[in-house]
């Protein structure tokens, strides 16, 4: 018998602002994933729940409402990579023989406005006035523009693409296309990053059912194989740059995304050229350009040329952020990566509707969060 670890079911609660509690959002996504997998809650041997802004035992508070079956329910926090780390723990648990089927949940109720700096930065950073994420993103964008000639127009093209993709993406908080001129006319959040080029914290939930499957069984027909799942942290994080260490935006030793990508490509036996579609971190539009380079889709400095080429558009050679990306979805941090995975699974199943990437057989999901927590998951069909 040949067995492999697969995603058998996916479920999402739309991202946005909702009156419902995080418990209700999480239960919605979990039950949707169970239905999609044609399983019941009693089929689950263990569960992992990713969040950043929820109280202790949030996972059990959510999943206990489905029935107290006595299984382990573990809470995980790793900034934007929390969902990816929860997925890795599910895979490790199955490989260890401690479970056969695991539910992985990400859920969040986010505060409005910029992220609470106390969740990411130390007191000395907050008191120094350097504790808002867009400032760091803007410094990296400016450095790239200086070194490689990247333009504000190229950054805006990323936002235009992702807003266009959002229109038929039911998970998105914002589902409206914007012209390039409208994006470039929007206010600066932190120059050169504009309002229509940046994501918003929000509420939401996503879940996947991971199981060990005999690949010869009929149930395997909709399964998507997990070919690689990696998590790395930065050797020198952007969050720690100033003022005590350095204000340089050049440090890349190497970057955590490149490390995670290289590990995932090796584990999957694939190269960047083999990936049919991608969901990548676009907390701001420049972040997506940088991801092209760090994921080895193009050479360092060529991210602007890549978006100009149309290669990452729907219909291009390697579409990116078919879901609309975080710019359109918003980012409930704990659910972020699992939402990406749900999109990739839908693509590989051929169930993405008007967003469908023709003939997609491989997909990659990427996240990058506080203190250089980065993760890459590669799925194949």
User: Which stretch of DSSP H or E encloses residue 377?
Assistant: strand 373-380
- What pLDDT is stored for residue 245 in this prediction? 47
Both structure tokens of 282: 């676009």
Report DSSP letters for 165-215, one per residue: HHTT-TT-S------HHHHHHSPEEETTEEGGGB--B-EEEEEEEEEEEET
- For residues 101 and 69, give the distance between their C-alpha atoms in angstroms, rounded to a whole number: 14
**Per-domain boundaries in the chain:** 3-113+204-214, 132-196+226-380
Q: Which fold has domain 132-196+226-380?
A: Peroxisomal Thiolase; Chain A, domain 1 (3.40.47)
Q: What are phi and psi of 317, to 5 degrees?
A: -70, -35
The pLDDT tens digits of the residues spanning 336-354 come to 999 999 999 999 999 999 9
User: What pLDDT sits at residue 242?
Assistant: 46
Identify the helix (H) or strand (E) that includes residue 261: helix 256-268
Under-50 pLDDT residues of the chain: 241-247
3-113+204-214 — its CATH code? 3.40.47.10
Cα dist from 207 to 59, 84, 101, 288, 327, whole Å = 12, 11, 13, 24, 21
Q: Compute the Cα dihedral for 121, 127, 128, 132 and give only its sign.
A: positive
In this chain, the answer to whether the domains covering 3-113+204-214 and 132-196+226-380 adopt an identical fold is: yes
Q: Maximum distance among all alpha carbons in the chain? A: 60
- What's residue 132's pLDDT? 73
């Amino acid at each position: 018998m040949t067995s492999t670890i697969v995603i058998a079911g996916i479920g999402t609660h739309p991202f946005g602002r909702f009156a419902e509690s995080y418990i209700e959002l999480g239960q919605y996504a979990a039950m949707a994933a169970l239905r999609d997998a044609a399983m019941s809650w009693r089929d689950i041997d263990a569960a992992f729940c990713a969040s950043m802004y929820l109280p202790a035992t949030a996972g059990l508070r959510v999943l206990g409402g489905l029935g107290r079956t006595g299984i382990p329910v573990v809470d995980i926090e790793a900034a934007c990579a929390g969902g990816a780390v929860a997925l890795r723990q599910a895979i490790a648990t199955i490989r260890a023989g401690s479970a056969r089927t695991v539910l992985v949940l990400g859920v969040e109720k986010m505060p409005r406005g910029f992220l609470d700096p106390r969740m990411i930065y130390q007191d000395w950073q907050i008191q120094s006035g350097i504790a808002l994420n867009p400032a760091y993103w803007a410094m990296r964008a400016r450095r790239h523009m200086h070194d490689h000639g990247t333009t504000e127009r190229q950054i805006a093209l990323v936002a235009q693409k992702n807003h266009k993709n959002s229109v038929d993406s039911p998970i998105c908080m914002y589902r409206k296309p914007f012209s390039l001129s409208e994006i470039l006319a929007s206010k600066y959040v932190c120059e050169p990053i504009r309002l229509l080029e940046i994501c918003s914290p929000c509420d939401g939930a996503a879940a996947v059912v991971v199981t060990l499957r005999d690949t010869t069984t009929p149930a395997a027909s909709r399964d998507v194989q997990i070919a690689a799942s990696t998590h790395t942290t930065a050797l020198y994080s952007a969050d720690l740059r100033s003022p005590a260490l350095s204000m340089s935006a050049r440090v890349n030793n190497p970057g955590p995304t490149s490390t995670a990508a290289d590990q995932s490509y090796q584990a999957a036996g694939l190269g960047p050229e083999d990936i049919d579609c991608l969901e990548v971190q676009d907390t701001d539009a420049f972040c997506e350009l940088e991801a092209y380079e760090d994921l080895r889709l193009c050479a360092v400095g060529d991210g602007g040329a890549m978006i100009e080429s149309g290669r990452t558009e729907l219909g291009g050679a390697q579409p990116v952020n078919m879901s609309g990306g975080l710019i359109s979805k918003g980012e409930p941090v704990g659910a972020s990566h699992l939402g990406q995975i749900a999109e990739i699974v839908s693509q590989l199943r051929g169930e993405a509707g008007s967003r469908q990437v023709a003939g997609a057989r491989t997909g990659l999901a990427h996240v990058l969060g506080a203190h250089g927590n980065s993760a890459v998951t590669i799925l194949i069909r």
